[in-house]
Amino acid sequence: DTAVSQTPKYLVTQMGNDKSIKCEQNLGHDTMYWYKQDSKKFLKIMFSYNNKELIINETVPNRFSPKSPDKAHLNLHINSLELGDSAVYFCASSQPGRATNEKLFFGSGTQLSVL
């Protein structure tokens, strides 16, 4: 069973389109995240949700809109895609406050290519 699963794995689209990436975790964690990894492998946090509530928004353009229908799901919708949005997007989850589960568990990533 995959702990954090995200779909699709690859997403190729034209500039100006709107696309969504879905993420689900079966670890029972309260907190979920979206991270962006650029071409130099730098990982940067975008959003964090705790039990469906947005708690971190790292000055991401408002073309990016996360949605958490329940604490096991965190989706990312991107409007009006731009060339600079091309990256690998990782979903992650954690359970802050429980000593053994504070670490982040990552999905396998969605490689977004905007043409």
Residues found near another protein in the complex (CB under 8 A): 4, 31, 33, 40-45, 48, 50, 55-56, 90, 92, 94, 96-97, 102-109
Angle at 40 between CA 39 and CA 41, to 5 degrees: 90
Strand partners, 91: 34
At position 45, the amino acid (one-letter code) is I
| Minimum CB–partner distance for residue 49 and another protein (Å) | 9
Taking the least distance from each CB to another protein, the nearer of 36 and 114 is 36
Taking the least distance from each CB to another protein, the nearer of 54 and 115 is 54
d(CA 110, CA 107): 9
